Amino acid sequence: MANIKAKINKFLTWSGEYAHTDMRYIVKGGFWLTFGRIAAMGTTFLLSVAFANLVSPETYGTYKYILSIYGLLAIITLPGISIALVQSVAGGYEGSITKIIKTKIKWGIAGSLGSLVVAGYYLWNGNSDFAIAFFIVSAFLPFIDTFDLYGSVFSGKQDFKNFAAYTTVPSIIVSGMLIGTLFFTNKAYLIALVYFAAWTLARFITLKVALLKFPLNKNEDPGVISYGKNLTWMNIINHVAGYVDKLFVFLFVGPAELAIYSIAIAPPEQVKNLLSQINDLMFPRLAERSDEEIKAGMKNKYIKLFILGVIVVGGYILLAPYFFSMFFPKYGQSVLLSQIFSISMLNVAAIAPGVYLMAKKKTKELYYSNAIISVFQIISMGILTYLLGLWGLVIARVITRLFSPLITIYYYNKTVGQETAS
């Protein structure tokens, strides 16, 4: 065993020098992140299969619409603070979490008021089911994402084993509860109630356990709240762009079509989430390294990630027809849409420049790049959805994801080296 370990270490050292990457870190952290992502993908996949086969497309579309409105309102809970906390913990400042929790809850109350306005609108118009749904959203909105901070702490500590464990277990429990619910009701607002209640409780318990088992130091980062707010505001248009597609479909095409669209994009989005572990691995390392070190390895990262993207997209396009016929037989209309949407995963090649901008707190550049990309996405989705329906929406999202790396790379090239020069 010692001989095998020595040979593995020798190979990782050699490959790391070739790729300008710490391969030991990638293998160790990547294993646990991959394990966590695969487990999350598995539970999400089972949940999608359950929705596709146990409830009507109209119910599923309505449920996705409720979650989309919640997602839009959740921007007020300052989701950027979770990213700022990763950077803060990586720098040795762990004691800000209590202040962050209080801040997120306080801001979340404003989101609850927004949900009550939406509920009042539907109540006024005689739609009691939607009114109940948004009363439910208002009750849980300040808490559901606030209690999800343990992931940021483990990520900042580069403790990917516990990151995987503490994010996977709640996902499995909540997905199981939702699948069980689908056997007993076809009401979208009841399914939403289980979703919000289960996630809030699971995350609260997990956060309490994590903080008791892994006590944090008392060092506070005085800038973590302000940086988290900046990250939130700079991503606000991007955040809206991430949910407005579903609103376009629901309001202008219908709930059944939203179900078709949701099923079509779900598998590529899950694969994209698996690939996003690269962000989790890169972020704390890029936060520690100098611009000179980052610049030396960037070209290799572009090439290798692009090759990875081509392999993933090609494999998905080939397998998608068999995959849908086996697990989503009612959604044959989603197959070609899904294949086209999978092309957007080629943007994995430009992950590193975006992570660099966040890790190095390039606030102005992040504002500009996110604003340009998000406005482009919203406008293109609006125009192409109006002209071509679901096809136009999918094409718009693919174009945006292939356009966005050009903007990110531009701002990376513009700013990298300034740290060294100063």
242 and 221 both lie in a single domain: no
230 and 240 both lie in a single domain: no
Q: Is residue 16 part of a domain?
A: no
98 and 181 both lie in a single domain: yes
Q: What is the pLDDT of residue 289?
A: 64
198 and 68 both lie in a single domain: yes
In the block, tokens 């009691």 appear at 128
Q: Is residue 10 part of a domain?
A: no
53 and 70 both lie in a single domain: yes
Spatial separation of the C-alpha atoms in residues 81 and 105, rounded to whole Å: 12
| Residue 54 pLDDT grade (very low, low, confident, very high; cuts 50, 70, 90) | very high
Spatial separation of the C-alpha atoms in residues 347 and 281, rounded to whole Å: 17
pLDDT > 90? residue 197:
yes
Helix axes 188-213, 57-73, angle to 10 degrees: 50
Q: 51 burial class (0-12, 13-18, 19+ CB within 10 angstroms)?
A: buried
Distance of CA 315 to the CA centre of its chain: 23
Segment 17-48, tens digit of pLDDT: 444 444 454 445 455 556 666 777 788 888 88
Token reading at 28: 């160790």
295 and 228 both lie in a single domain: no
241 and 209 both lie in a single domain: no
Worst-scoring range by mean pLDDT, 252-261, 339-348, 385-394, 408-417?
Answer: 408-417
Domain-ending residue, one of 176, 201, 234: 234
Q: Is residue 2 part of a domain?
A: no
Q: Is residue 11 part of a domain?
A: no
DSSP codes, 60-96:
HHHHHHHHHHHHHHGGGG-THHHHHHHHHHHTT--TT
Averaged pLDDT for residues 329-357: 85
Cβ atoms of 188 and 129 closer than 8 Å: yes
| pTM for the structure as a whole | 0.76
Domain-ending residue, one of 218, 234, 250: 234
Instruction: Tally the domains of the chain.
Output: 2
Q: Is residue 119 part of a domain?
A: yes
216 and 242 both lie in a single domain: no
| Residue 419 pLDDT grade (very low, low, confident, very high; cuts 50, 70, 90) | low
Q: Is residue 6 part of a domain?
A: no
51 and 188 both lie in a single domain: yes
281 and 339 both lie in a single domain: yes
Nearest CA-CA partner of 389 in 216, 213, 192, 252: 252
Q: Is residue 388 part of a domain?
A: yes
Domain-ending residue, one of 234, 252, 275: 234
103 and 163 both lie in a single domain: yes
pLDDT > 80? residue 277:
no
261 and 215 both lie in a single domain: no
Averaged pLDDT for residues 199-208: 92
Q: Is residue 196 part of a domain?
A: yes
The whole domain housing 132 covers 21-234
Nearest CA-CA partner of 136 in 155, 112, 160: 112
